[in-house]
Amino acid sequence: MTYQNDDFILVGNFGRPIGLKGSLKLNSFTRPTENIKTYESFFVSEEKTFKKLDITKISSSGKNLVIFVSGCNSLEQAEKYFKGKDIYISKSELPKLKDKYYWNDLIGLEVLISGSKKSLGVVNSLMETGSNDVLVIKSFDQDDILIPFIMGRYILEVTEKFILVDWEV
């Protein structure tokens, strides 16, 4: 499973088949989960390439989302070809943000301490907490460093190459 790619973004995956006609549960990784319905094109990864899916419908059924793939007309086809596969969108479909950041844009950036410009390491991942997101930094010389992603307080600047933080180690 690959979470980051230069051109494609992981937004969900296929769950178990629902019913006999080939529909599947859709596990959305977007926030809120219904936002996955706003995208136009979906892809699956197959042998180091991305294949476009022909989605006929995404609907809600109680708390679940249900996805219908063109040509998938039976429970057996849904099980064999789609169950458990990750679903991606083209990165170009993401709306441009002002003063906000997509997680995939932060992963891999070097984290520098304000003033000394000493490197703490590289953003390895992010965690979602109740109040704010948290950067998980892979440190060069110690355990992972966790820094709350709070602009103006701990996060001073974000560029395409680095994140400047107000943090002591």
| The predicted structure's pLDDT at residue 1 | 39
Structure confidence by residue, pLDDT tens digits, 8-30: 999 999 999 998 999 999 999 98
- The percentage of the chain sitting over the pLDDT mark of 90, rounded to a whole number, equals 73
In the chain, which residue ranges form alpha helices assigned H by DSSP?
Answer: 75-81, 103-106
Higher pLDDT, 7 or 14: 14
Closest among 26, 32, 28 to 14, alpha carbons compared = 26
In the predicted model, what is the mean pLDDT of the chain? 92
* pLDDT of 139 above 60: yes
Amino acid in position 126: L
Contact 101, 160 (CB under 8 A): no
- Report the predicted TM-score, pTM, of the whole model to 2 decimal places: 0.75
Domains delineated in the chain: 8-93 (2.40.30.60), 103-165 (2.30.30.240)
Structure confidence by residue, pLDDT tens digits, 69-107: 999 999 999 999 999 999 999 999 988 888 788 888 899
pLDDT at position 143 is: 87
